Amino acid sequence: MKNKAYTVALACLSVLFSGCNNWLDVKPYDQISEEELLSTEDGFFKLLNGIYIELNHENLYGSTLSVEMLEVMGGAYEIGTDNMVWGNYKDLSKYEYGTEYWRTRLSATWDKAYALILNCNKILENMEGNHVALFTEDNYNIVRGEALALRAMLHFDMLRLFGPVYSRGKNKTSIPYYFSQTNLPETPLTAEQVAQNVIADLREARILLAGDPIITNGTMMSGDLNASSNFLRYRALRLNYYAVTGLLARVYLYTGDKGNAFTYSTEVIKAANNGIFPWVDKKLVIGSPDDPDRIFSSEVIFALSHSRRSQLFKNYFDPSRLPGCVFRMEREFMNNYIYGGSTTGGNQDDYRNLVNWTANGAYKYFYKYADMVATGAIENTMIPLLRLGEMYLIAAESQSDDLAAGVSYVNTLRKARGVSNLQTLNSDLLIYEYIRELYGEGQLFYLYKRLFSPIYFSATASKNPEPSDEIFIVPLPDSETEN
């Protein structure tokens, strides 16, 4: 990591996301000294909110790690051959990470992630000692728990991106793990050591968040005009207790610990069954076609709030950009495998097909991030990072070594999507369901890497890249190796 002094005071000055969201209740940080921020409970709230805001940066989940670079790597889009249209995406679709452009992009993602990790450590270190007395009620535990969870999540995604294929090389050197606010480079750890640190941070965060109001009051996805602060509301926009539990399920599955993956995923499922993350109301999906809830917002366990989310649609998916670069799935793959094909579980009446894909000429285009009519709705700003459907898929995959034993979890998910049951479950059917559920959310590359699977991209099997270290092990950025 480059030897730079990173401060949260600069975090809210991003040009792309200059409009801070109301739910964060943030004042411009450049008008507040760091000493002042660290001297009050409200100052710590602002520092933590600054990290959430910067997760929206284009080098992280505001583009690169959600709809763009990572989804190209995951085979989500059909990339053409015309250099004038596709430019650097041609290299990425062939997993040529060593070009100057992609080395620079990957370094930018690494640097931004570790900058925010150091900001998490700034909060954690300064909360100790006399600062404990600054906090009222359970807010010390909430702030500390969320900061630990953010640190863990960012490290885990850098491990998934730059680390070895865990199932084949958990003892190989991977990335450093930062426990303190320092400008000195840390020694890279093995993948297993990094995963253990991620799990330790998440387990501690879960203990600290045992009093999270989401447990008794739900997500509270609206403001309280009578409250002095909305810090404890909008819980699905923060790393809440159940989001931390869901991340533990994700991490344990990645490391091959199916027992713990099943335990934690089904805990979130139980909470959903108790009404905290209800399945999206059918009427909000196909009952109001002019303004559907395309992200199934009630099911989102953790999301970012991006005030200009519709720009993602305009930049990458809007068919009006033609003949320029527009991301879309291969037509034959979509029609014959994902939302068609009697042997793959595909169905044209799937809610995910009906609301997220719109025909324009011979192709369908991806509308998940297009503006709703109600542009001011919080649902219109959300970029999902963890959702209920993934918990069902994790439970299905981890219930036992026999995938067929988990078919009931997949069928519960499919019922909520308006499609019929599968008779059994195998690795192909599971992958197709992951694609349908998590498309456009930056998880597919990690799925294939975890399974060391071919990348499902095309109806022509010979076009689907076979698994290899060259595809799945992304070289560490120059900014790290130079240290």
pLDDT band, residue 162 (cuts 50/70/90): very high
Residue 468 neighbours by CB distance under 10 Å = 12
Per-residue DSSP letter, 186: P
pLDDT in tens, 57-84: 999 999 999 999 999 999 999 999 999 9
Q: Among 11-15, 449-453, 473-477, which is the least confidently predicted range?
A: 11-15
User: What's the pLDDT score for residue 228?
Assistant: 64
Segment 215-234, tens digit of pLDDT:
999 999 988 766 667 899 99
What average pLDDT does this structure show over 278-304? 91
**Distances from the Cα of 430 to the Cαs of 39, 398, 462, in angstroms?**
50, 12, 20
Number of domains composing the chain = 1
pTM for the whole thing? 0.93
- pLDDT score for 289: 73
Contact 328, 363 (CB under 8 A): yes
The C-alpha atoms of residue 383 and residue 379 are separated, in whole angstroms, by: 9
Report which of residues 373 and 208 the model is more confident about. Answer: 208
Q: Are 46 and 143 in contact (CB under 8 A)?
A: no
Q: Which long-range contacts (CB under 8 A, 24 or more apart) does 406-412 make?
A: 409/269
Calculate mean pLDDT across residues 30-52.
Answer: 84
Q: Amino acid identity, residue 357?
A: W
pLDDT of residue 37: 83
Q: Which residues contact residue 14 at a Cβ distance below 8 angstroms, ignoring those fewer than 6 apart?
A: 53, 54, 56, 57
Indicate if the pLDDT at residue 458 is higher than 90: yes
Cα–Cα separations (whole angstroms), residue 332 to 7, 22, 163, 232: 48, 43, 33, 46
More confident residue, 462 or 479: 462
Identify the DSSP state of 173: B
Backbone angles phi, psi at 118, to 5 degrees: -65, -30
Query: Among residues of the chain, what percentage have pLDDT more than 70?
Result: 92
Chain-wide mean pLDDT for the chain? 91
pLDDT band at 1 (very low <50, low <70, confident <90, very high): low
pLDDT at 363 over 60: yes
> Residues 255-290: pLDDT tens digits?
999 999 999 999 999 999 999 999 999 888 887 778
Selected residue with higher pLDDT from 133 and 254: 254
Structural domain for 174, as ranges: 8-481
Q: 207 in a domain, yes or no?
A: yes
> Domain of 30: which CATH number?
1.25.40.390
Average pLDDT over residues 190-205: 98
CA 11 to chain centre: 20
**Calpha distance 177→90 (Å, rounded):** 33
For residue 72, tell me if it sits in a domain: yes
Residue 178: its pLDDT value, please? 97
Position 299 scores a pLDDT of 98
Q: How far apart are CA 351 and CA 292, in angstroms?
A: 10
Higher pLDDT pick, 109 / 479: 109
Higher pLDDT, 10 or 238: 238
Sign of CA dihedral 12, 18, 22, 23: negative
Q: With a cut of 90, say whether residue 481 has pLDDT above it.
A: no
At residue 119, the pLDDT reads 95
Q: Assess contact for 171 and 72: CB atoms under 8 A.
A: no
Q: What is the mean pLDDT of residues 103-119?
A: 97
Residue type, position 213, single letter: P
For residues 387 and 301, is the Cβ–Cβ distance under 8 A? yes
Answer yes or no: is 3 within a domain: no
pLDDT in tens, 423-448: 999 999 999 999 999 999 999 999 99
- 144 CB burial (10 A radius; 0-12, 13-18, 19+): buried
CA 136, distance to chain mean position in Å, is 31
Beta bridge partners of 382: 305
Residue 2 domain flag: no
d(CA 64, CA 57): 9
Closest CA to 253 of 431, 451, 442, 472: 451
Mean pLDDT on 384-396: 98
Would residue 374 be called left, alpha or beta, if left means φ above 0 and alpha means ψ between -120 and 50 degrees? beta
Mean pLDDT of 51-57: 97
For residue 386, which phi and psi values (nearest 5 degrees)?
A: -155, 130
Query: What does the pLDDT average to over 356-360?
Result: 95
Per-residue model confidence (pLDDT) at position 39: 85
Angle at 395 between CA 271 and CA 267, to 5 degrees: 25
pLDDT band of 2, cuts 50, 70, 90: very low
Q: What is the pLDDT of residue 34?
A: 75
Residue 128 has pLDDT above 70, yes or no: yes
Answer whether residue 1 is part of any domain.
no
Q: What is the pLDDT of residue 26?
A: 44
Q: What is the pLDDT of residue 168?
A: 96
Query: Greater confidence, 439 or 11?
Result: 439
- Distant-in-sequence, close-in-space partners of 297: CB < 8 Å, separation ≥ 6: 221, 280, 303, 378, 379, 382
**Residue 229 maps to a domain:** yes
* More reliable by pLDDT, 228 or 127: 127
Report if residue 471 sits inside a domain.
yes
* Residue 311 predicted with pLDDT over 70: yes
Question: How large is the greatest C-alpha to C-alpha distance in the chain, in angstroms?
Answer: 65
Of the CA atoms within 13 Å of residue 89, those in its CB half-sphere come to 24
DSSP symbols for 375-392: TTSGGGGEEEEEEHHHHH
Coil vs helix vs strand at 384 = strand
Q: Are 201 and 147 in contact (CB under 8 A)?
A: no
pLDDT, position 133 = 87
Question: Confidence band (pLDDT; 50, 70, 90) for 171?
Answer: very high
Average pLDDT value for residue range 39-66? 95
Total count of residues recorded for the chain: 483
